[in-house]
Structure 1
């Protein structure tokens, strides 16, 4: 690492004694912090008081100059209490469903996943695992503490077993022909330990394919996407840091790419008997990640101030502003800006969220139908990829309003 690059980082970050859970390096650069945010964003609560009294913690992001990994250095694993009331199901969105269908079909064709055994680590309510088993006549095992067997209706249900638990060495016998893990690794603090556990479970079966999907942190840094930084996400990967982790844990990276509006980072890998040194073209250099971290650290306050002023202006003008999307982005948006009082209502298409209250925010989640009577002046969409389907829903309901996105 060149001294000039590290010197440029010194202007925006503080070097501290923290161990990188990705590579074991013993110093991290601290460059961003948010204090007093809810330790869970998607646990559905039954009362406003319970939501407002929900436990809070801090986010302090540290960057590893050795492997490029970013982690919350003050993350406390005691709050990783996922349960069936953890509501992160996205399959009520036509946009997301089309993405999942296309992804499942592509993986089935690429790896001939027909009449095979598939394991999904962090399967949530089982949507994607059931889809893989339906389309390819496969058998499946899903492991997740928040799973709710029977939630998703499927003709493949009798071929899929759900285990309500955290993945660990005890499930080393659950390997199969294909292992997938979507939007789970970012919730794991000891990342190298976790991926190594997956590798040990595979053993000498070198034909097993591993597929992981996580948020892409390069986009977060470059676009100043503060709404994608929240307590549950203790681990933040760029293409380079993700690929380095998999190689260090005994895998060869066979593919690495972005999807879903460049928001997701997807990796496909195979176990190898000897360490792989094959670098994928998408991997960025450590120098590039340093520049992205520096950009984020020096520019984020300006973006936060913009949104604070926008919400303040709308309130002063007596405008009715609604947030569409009650998940983690919404929680991060409102708590990071400390402007909970500027938004009166939050809506969501997931019926399992309706009537529940948002942790740390205390807002009750409403159905989109609510907007017919409320008649908002502005709807802020938490993820721009959903703008078209949301606009269509508003048009069908006869709700005339301005739609903007983060």
Structure 2
């Protein structure tokens, strides 16, 4: 395996989760007797550039041609996108510029760009998944079905002109060709424009043993340091970074063409310093990840086995990609988790990859009144504790498996907050 950023052969293993099916390959009932291909989930760190990565064993073409994830099914994620559009429009005065043009890469079902459309700002989505791209167009969001690469970017720029703002939310981990994708971002953006990238922060992955954020769609895991190095290879310079609570802890990188860039902001330097203190600017900082993941697995399995010993009925909430990593790594089957539920109707009647746990509509929980609801998108604790408070009416418990396994307090009402939350992926 070669480092996909710098080409080095000097990579160190820091987390081996075994082999699992792709996390979005939900099974239909007529495929339950079919074999499933599995691929290693083996995280390594490059000793030369420190990029955290897994081998690119599952092609994005296989994953994203038809995709099971629709961003708009999480109202809170749509609200997060709306806040971003408001803030970006104010920051860049998009609403008063005649030449304003916003491009979103991996625009999904138009959950973000619909807010740009509502503002009357010219925009375009670039989305590889045929089915979710069609949903975006049906919602009135101009969308092209394509993967971003230098050729796609050059064609879009020739057809539509340079973009004032290029948005790439939760996609920079999903691309095996880091250099080509980054060059595409640079081609899309105007010389005085901005690129905004949201991505899960590897600092949180390591500090909280968030092993379930590792799945085959995620080819790499970013610190600010490694993201700066990657963007520099595409002639983009990071000038600002924000810390976000999304996906268990994310960063929002603001970059601009290097010829136009000034010095990095104070908060960029602060987050770099935080990474350095955590040891992540050296390989040694990643070496405790595997043992921490094993401890977390033991806690989840121990809890579920104790529930079974006591004769308690346990079901799940959510069927996100990260949940499938957790279920497969922990070896959880329907004998320990009877079923799970999800708001996305695409998943209803299907089964989780590898573990073959049935997926139902969320109404099933109230009908069955189980003893325990295990929440797989644990990163949505505040939002889902409120949604699942009714479980306490029959004495049921709502349990979150990570970062440490714990039972939610269903008696306390969560106060409203402006802090963004996110989708179930």
Same topology, TM > 0.5:
yes
Q: Work out the CA distance in 2 between the residues paired with 1:310 and 1:62.
A: 30
> Is the CA contact (8 Å cut-off) linking 1:38 and 1:57 kept in structure 2?
yes
Distance 2:187 2:164 in 1: 15
The offset of 1:271, in angstroms, is 0.7
Residues 52, 360 of structure 1: 8 Å contact kept: no
2:211 matched to 1:226? yes
8 A Cα contact 1:250 1:274, kept in partner: no
For 1:95-110, what aligned pairs fall within 5 Å after superposition?
A: 95-110=76-91
User: CA separation in 1, counterparts of 2:33 and 2:5?
Assistant: 33
Instruction: Confirm or deny that 1:151 pairs with 2:135.
Output: yes
Q: Contact 2:333–2:355 at 8 Å: present in 1 too?
A: yes
- Alpha carbons 2:149, 2:183 under 8 Å: kept: no
> 1:309 & 1:70 partners in 2: Cα distance?
30
TM-score by length of 2: 0.81
Residue 316 of structure 1: aligned partner: 309
Q: CA deviation at 1:35?
A: 2.1
RMSD between aligned residues:
2.6
- Which residue does 1:197 correspond to in 2? 184
Contact 1:52/1:361 (<8 A) preserved = no
Residues 46 and 85 of structure 1, relative CA distance in 2, 3 Å threshold? farther
* Equivalent position SS for 1:32: strand
Question: Deviation digits for residues 128-170 of structure 1, max 9, x if unmatched?
Answer: 1222222x31122211221434535887x1xx32122212233
Deviates more, 1:300-309 or 1:323-332: 300-309
Name which of structure 1's ranges 99-108 and 351-360 shifts more when overlaid on structure 2. 351-360
Residue equivalent to 1:351:
345
**Alignment equivalent of 2:360, drawn from 366, 379, 392:** 366
1:401 aligns with 2:396: yes
Aligned to 1:273: 259
SS of residue matched to 2:94 = coil
Query: Is this contact kept in 1: 2:331–2:355, CA < 8 A?
Result: no
- How far does residue 201 in structure 1 lie from its aligned partner after superposition? 4.6
Residues 180 and 399 (structure 1), Cα distance of their counterparts in 2 relative to 1, 3 Å cut: farther
Q: Structure 1, residues 318-365: CA drift from partner, whole Å, max 9, x if none?
A: 211122110111101100111224211111122332223322232221
Residues 1:389 and 2:376 aligned together: no
Partner Cα separation in structure 2 for residue 212 and residue 145 of structure 1: 18
- The count of corresponding residues between Structure 1 and Structure 2 is 381
Q: 1:78 aligns with which of 40, 59, 63?
A: 59
Kept in 2: contact 1:371–1:399 (CA 8 A): no
TM value normalised by structure 1: 0.85
Secondary structure of the 2:345 match is: coil
Say if 2:104 and 2:167, in contact at 8 Å, map to a contact too. yes
Gap regions ≥5 residues in structure 1? 1-17
Q: 2:78, 2:112 within 8 Å by CA — same for their partners in 1?
A: no
Specify whether residues 385 and 63 from structure 1 end up closer, same or farther in structure 2 by C-alpha distance, changes over 3 A only: closer
Compute the displacement of 1:49 (Å).
2.6
Q: Which moved more, 1:29-38 or 1:219-228?
A: 29-38
Structure 1 residues 50, 144: closer, same or farther in 2, change over 3 A? farther
Which has the larger displacement, 212-221 or 140-149?
Answer: 140-149
Please list every run of 5 or more consecutive structure 2 residues that lacks an aligned counterpart in the other structure. 157-161, 403-425
